[in-house]
Amino acid sequence: MRWARASREIGLALAACLIVLTAVSQLSDLPAIRGLETASLDLRFRLRGPRPVGPEIAVVLFDDRSLAALGRWPVSRRIFAQALHRLDEAGAKLVVFDLLFAEADRPVAPELRDVARAAKAAGGDPQLVAMLQRLVGEDPDGEFAAAMSQGGKVLLPIAFGFDRTSGEAPESLSDSAYAQFDKSARPVAFALQPLSATLPIPRLAQAAAGLANVNVVYDRDGEVRYDYAAVPFDGDFYPSMSIRAAAEFEGVPWNEVALALGEGVRIGQRLVPTDAAMRLLINYPGPRGTVPTYSFADLMAGQVPASALEGRLVLIGASFTGNADSFASPYGSVPVPGTERIADSIDTILQGRFIIDNPPDFKAPAVVATLLLAALTGCVAAFAALRVTMIVGALGMVAALGAAQLAFLHGLWLPIVGPVAALLAASATVTLYRYWAVEREGQRIRSAFKHYMAPDMVEILAAHPERLRLGGETRPMTLLFCDIRGFTSISEQFKANPQGLTRLINRFLTPMTDLIMARRGTIDKYMGDCIMAFWNAPLDNAQHADHACASALAMIAGLGDLNDQLRAEAEAANRTFHRLDIGIGLNTGTCVVGNMGSERRFDYSVLGDAVNLASRLEGQSKTYGVSIVIGEATRADAPHWAALELDMIAVQGKKEAVRIYGLLGDENAARAPDFMALDELHGIMLRHYRAQDWIAAREALARCRGRDRRLEKLYDLYEHRIDAYAVDPPGADWDGVYVARSK
């Protein structure tokens, strides 16, 4: 039954999980969902923390100090030529410019050149003519091109446009496109489809070692996360600057770099993986300044150590107030210069620290793992309280987040919005179901049973209402019957005041019930002045016999307190005090317990021969003069309590004889020297009695008397029997069994 219920709630959790996973998968491009996913990526970077970059890269930035030291922007390309000479002297291996030299550097206007030529032709002042010739003879682009050609290790950027206003690209641009292709089984879906290209001026482009694009493409949330390893244009595919720079730095000829559309780029033996749109996720090593960065002014002043540049790939760019070439990073609000972003992308390639975005091979395992966590939540919901279900659901989401972070540390960007939303939906579904379909039923059960069962048992039934279906189960139990002695005569005295009798009964039943329930007992029913209770149902209780004995002794003690209260109240009101005395019968045996009745009305009750015997034992408490009579099976299950054998008796309605015992005290009382002595003498008396040695039995009986006043009526009974049997022996076949004539 419980597993049938579990399968129902597991099914609900799985259904909710699948629906949400499917919905998020289909709607993953929505700005809200994409924004949550990219925000989770930024959080993963921050949780990982900064890491050092490799030793291959350095950045030189034209910053505010450089602007103050060198003047206007843009500076003369003669200064860039000087910078290249300094980098050559320092031993830089490759220089990458993140500056687009799309127009010629013309320090002298064409009109001034015409004036100088005219002055020379007219034979004017020789000194003036010489100065004019020197002025018009300046060629910063030529000096810059010569410096590039001399080193042969400079890469320049190109920028693709998405309209026709940027002009058509020259045929020479195709020399910078991918020349080699690898086979690919994955389809490609380019996100960028440029229509034009802006290149460096021809003389600079020809002097450079290569060209590559530096286009910046923003994600849906306005952040830059990808480097586009290949962009289609005019029938060719062009690399990003990070791809071209990595190839040049590692000495791989450009015509040997292979493009696998939809999969990545092969640089020598290194495969740079991309997604289907040819995007490489940049593995940002840290916040701004993580890549070693130097001021352009310090480079020109000779203040950058050669050791900081030797053998390195040096990127030169600009980042000063008013220059918008900077972007947010996952590590905070301080923007990262665009040049450093390219350096981060190159470092990702050179170090092989790739992050695979939503790897196809992990999609199915991620779905299976999410479904298993959802199923676990549903299973827990079937067997545990709501708060436990909520905790397990939360732990499932924490586990998904932890797995995603662990995967990220190993280079995998696994989607987390779908799994977390699916687990949240699964947890919410089963929680709401439990609340509306189960907890409401539980409230009804609590209301119906709180007066009859111990609170923990009520909670068990509230959590598992299927136990209240019509039917029962067989289990060992201990039964208790309690009845007020002389209740008929007490009732006659309240003939004129029935409400007073009701109040008296309630005064009796309330504390007795509390004492039973406090020891994990279940109240079966009230029958006038009689209480029927049992242990070991519906909650398992391996010590049911011990708890029943403890309850019986507590009831006797509690009755004494109640009588003291009733006496004081009667004396204060100047009315008759009615003392209450009770008899209790306990018996242990196998019973059927469950909901007995009809489909419309039923009670949680117990049936079995052990129940009947417990009722008969309660009646025998009056016969033997002891307050608590327990059966043989109860004594066997609770052997450490202070109890004396009363007799071997065949109760009315039963042919088989049972041993019955009088319960006198707890385990401490059983270890008391006085009780141990009485127990020994009492046993001797019973042995002589059953052996029909009446003289010895009478002597042992005499030694038992006076040791416990609660047993005087019992010993009076045995003295009467011994006297009768001495006159009229029961015969040689007598087995010592007493046949009860009354209930």
Q: Which residue has the tokens 């609340």?
A: 435
Mean pLDDT across the stretch 685-700?
96
User: Looking at the structure, do residues 247 and 381 belong to the same domain, yes or no?
Assistant: no
**The residue type at 687:** R
Which pair of structure tokens corresponds to residue 597? 């009745």
Domain limit, last residue, from 357, 378, 394? 357
Angle between helices 544-573 and 498-517 (to 10 degrees): 150
Cα three-residue angle 369-184-193, rounded to 5 degrees:
95
Q: Which residue has the tokens 């972003």?
A: 341
Above 50 in pLDDT, residue 387? yes
What span, in angstroms and rounded, lies between the C-alpha atoms of 666 and 676? Answer: 13
Mean pLDDT across the stretch 368-396?
86
Any domain includes 678: yes
User: Looking at the structure, do residues 231 and 91 belong to the same domain, yes or no?
Assistant: yes
Which pair of structure tokens corresponds to residue 489? 């005569």
Any domain includes 451: no
- Nearest CA among 367, 398, 394, 393 for reference residue 380: 393
User: Looking at the structure, do residues 324 and 402 belong to the same domain, yes or no?
Assistant: no
User: Looking at the structure, do residues 482 and 441 belong to the same domain, yes or no?
Assistant: no
User: Looking at the structure, do residues 78 and 7 belong to the same domain, yes or no?
Assistant: no
Q: Which residue has the higher pLDDT, 616 or 495?
A: 616
Catalogue the E-assigned strands of 190-347. 196-198, 210-213, 226-228, 230-233, 236-239, 258-260, 264-267, 270-273, 279-281, 293-295, 313-318, 326-329, 332-337
Question: Among 66-70, 165-169, 290-294, whose mean pLDDT is lowest?
Answer: 165-169
Length of the chain, in residues: 743
What span, in angstroms and rounded, lies between the C-alpha atoms of 673 and 342? Answer: 93
Total count of domains within the chain: 4
Helices and strands (DSSP H and E) totals, the chain: 25, 28
**The residue type at 59:** V
User: Looking at the structure, do residues 405 and 530 belong to the same domain, yes or no?
Assistant: no
What CATH number does residue 547 fall under?
3.30.70.1230
Any domain includes 94: yes
User: Looking at the structure, do residues 232 and 278 belong to the same domain, yes or no?
Assistant: yes
User: Looking at the structure, do residues 557 and 685 belong to the same domain, yes or no?
Assistant: no
Any domain includes 742: no
Which pair of structure tokens corresponds to residue 109? 């206007």
Where does the pLDDT of residue 674 fall: very low under 50, low under 70, confident under 90, or very high at 90 and above? very high
User: Looking at the structure, do residues 215 and 321 belong to the same domain, yes or no?
Assistant: yes
List % helix, strand, coil for the chain (3-state, nearest 5). 50, 20, 30
Mean pLDDT across the stretch 40-65?
94
Mean pLDDT across the stretch 699-727?
95
Any domain includes 676: yes
> In this predicted structure, what is the pLDDT of residue 470?
47
Q: Which residue has the tokens 């003690």?
A: 557
Domain limit, last residue, from 645, 666, 687? 666
User: pLDDT tens digits, residue range 183-202?
Assistant: 988 888 887 888 888 899 99
What span, in angstroms and rounded, lies between the C-alpha atoms of 441 and 431? Answer: 14
Which range of residues forms the domain containing residue 718?
672-734
pTM over 0.75: no
Any domain includes 743: no
User: Looking at the structure, do residues 434 and 488 belong to the same domain, yes or no?
Assistant: no
Where does the pLDDT of residue 220 fall: very low under 50, low under 70, confident under 90, or very high at 90 and above? confident
**Over the chain, what is the mean pLDDT?**
88
